[in-house]
Amino acid sequence: MGGTEADIDDFGGAFTLQRADFQALLDALSKLGYDIIAPTMKDGAIVYGAIRAVEELPIGWTDDQGPGRYRLSKRLDGALFGYAVGPHSWKKYLHPPERELWRAKRNGNAVTFKTKPPDKQKRAFLGVRACEIAAIDIQSRVFVDDLYSDESYETRRRNTMVIAVNCSSPAETCFCTSMDTGPAVSGGYDLLITEVVEENAHVFVMKAASNAGQAVLAQLPLKTASPADVASSRAVIRGAEQAISRTMDTEGLRELLQENPEHPQWDDVASRCLSCTNCTAVCPTCFCTTVADHTGLSGEESRRLQTWDSCFSGAFSELSGGSVRQSTKSRYRQWMTHKLSTWIDQFGASGCVGCGRCIAWCPVGIDITAEVTSLRAKPKKEA
């Protein structure tokens, strides 16, 4: 249900929804049969989960992020979307952490196999940032646009409405401007929201880019956006752009990584990396999985499960005779080189969207942007 491309400066056809009427958006989505998945608070973090009421959003909260650091704190206003991104990404709803591939049952000498039909539930993702839309697009290239299509992913994506929100409060860890993925939303949405919180006004400037989005807007108490509303929306985008200070130099990065497999920086980062797999778990584009068969104690039933895996796992590259990548150095090099270099060879784009999750949720605060900077330095001469 992704929308068409739109110019971020084009607010033609935009409307405004008052803060007091925001529940009407949720009610309209529910009436149209959508499960609403949105930011909510749990265990001291902003995560994505099912909601039905506006009060379940992280109203008046923001996130303080840095290398190995994530904390929530109160804002001085009642913004509904005044934060960046947390540990969850939308991929867990499109590419679930665990999925049953088939189930088998033995009845005497006969064995029957059964597969679950694709999940066709309609879902509305509310609060999707520009970097996350880019991540969804990347995973769609992997699961739908590549040589083989994943029916489960394709069906889930087809039944998902994307309600995007222009970012207003990027974190210290964000570097989407370097990856050309944000902070302004430029396409891939059904509805686009810009939250404007001013001294005497709290409104949402909204624009539809698909028939599904138009159907939702038709049920809301909207007013045509005024020139002042449009100006305020653009100011939100400019403010977010100016707030992003972390950068990654991507010029020639594909070649740099492929030409330096023995750079001493790989040993340096390996001395700090715990191979804990946190970075791949929170990354919105990582897609590696493994499969395992589980048989009941009676031996009458068995099932095959697909679960998320990580290239940082020791068993991930296990072949007959042992693991291909036995050291932390080789695993980190594989992950970073694939993400920023060979991913381009495979799928035509970088596998990084600059969301900064891997920086914030690394227990030892490894910063991928700093690693790129160090790799650009000349290798140390051997003694």
What are the tens digits of pLDDT across the range 113-124? 999 899 999 999
Task: Tell me what pLDDT residue 179 has.
Answer: 97
Kindly report, residue by residue over 33-65, the tens digit of the pLDDT: 999 999 999 999 999 999 999 999 999 999 999
Checking if the pLDDT of 132 tops 60, the result is yes
Q: CA torsion sign, 224 to 237 to 184 to 169?
A: negative
Under 8 Å CB-to-CB from 344, ≥6 apart: which residues? 254, 350
| Nearest one of 72, 166, 76, 174 to 128, comparing CA atoms | 166
Pull the structure tokens for residue 102: 């088939």
Residue 6 CA, chain-centre distance (Å), reads 21
What is the average pLDDT value for the chain, to the nearest integer? 93
Residue 2: its pLDDT value, please?
Answer: 39
Residue-wise pLDDT for 338-379, tens only, equals 999 999 998 889 999 999 999 999 999 999 999 999 999 876
Cβ–Cβ under 8 Å, residues 141 and 344: no
